[in-house]
Amino acid sequence: MADQTIISGFLGLLEGLTEFLPVSSTGHLLLAGHFLGFSSPGRTFEVAIQLGAILALTSVYATLVMGLFLRARHEDAARRAIVSVLLAFLPAMVVGVLAHDFIKSVLFEGQALIAVMLILGGVVLLVIDRIAPAPVHRDALALPFGKSLIIGLFQCLAMVPGVSRSGATIVGALMLGVEKRAAAEFSFLLSLPTMGAAVAYDLWKSRDLLDFSAVTDIAIGFAVAFVTAVLVVKWVLSYISRKGYALFGWWRIIVGSAALVALSLGY
């Protein structure tokens, strides 16, 4: 029981630390679950701790989001910001619904694929961090509709575990001339409808498999994910503004390489 509680807390910590960083929280959770021998029926635990991360982001951005909707009644810029985020959300919604079963039953079971995607994504982050074009967009709430839609198409790449939703959207934004901090902010805002819809759809599709019997473990993971995610979201924008994305690229390469070595040894 104690071991299970420790694992639940660790996985909650991992979710909170990685959900909003360009390192793939799903990839980290699936690899950790594999090596720790952890699984939950219908992935109830994983879904629950994702809700903790969503709630954390919502609490951080609540004032901004509520202000946008209030101003949208009489301010064109606020309406454009909302439409921009929804346009970016649209491709993932369509692809997620059409490919959900394949993603969950095939891609989520490939630990080697996840490790390779972590490494490749890390290399891409390192390269883009150096060669991204000079920024022309510095306001996450004022991106052109066309560029928002393209960022949404990049987000679809994250359907493959190990790619990273935030990593894909940030790379897409940087390539389109969005400043580093603004790219991260837009990725955070886009995650609100994307993650909310994904978790809701997961719960609906897996409703017959869901098992909430391990309430204590779920509560621990949820709470740890919530607290950690709040701290990460508040820290990461400041860090990215000063240092860029190289740290996260190297982290992905190290974790992916270690996972491939462990898998090749039969773990």
To the question of pTM greater than 0.85 for the whole model, the response is yes
Residue 99: band (very low, low, confident or very high) from pLDDT cuts 50, 70, 90 = confident
- Torsion (CA) 246, 183, 173, 176 in degrees, nearest 10: -100
The owner of tokens 């959770």 is 29
Split at pLDDT 50, 70, 90, the class of 139 is: very high
What is the 3-state composition of the chain as percent helix, strand, coil, each rounded to the nearest 5? 80, 0, 20
Contacts for 117-120: CB closer than 8 Å, 24+ residues apart:
117/24, 117/27, 117/160, 117/161, 117/162, 117/163, 117/256, 118/23, 118/24, 118/27, 118/162, 118/252, 118/253, 118/255, 118/256, 118/259, 119/252, 119/253, 119/256, 119/257, 119/260
For the stretch 18-66, pLDDT in tens is 988 999 998 899 899 889 888 776 567 777 888 888 899 999 999 999 9
d(CA 177, CA 89): 19
Q: In the 8-state DSSP scheme, what is residue 208?
A: T
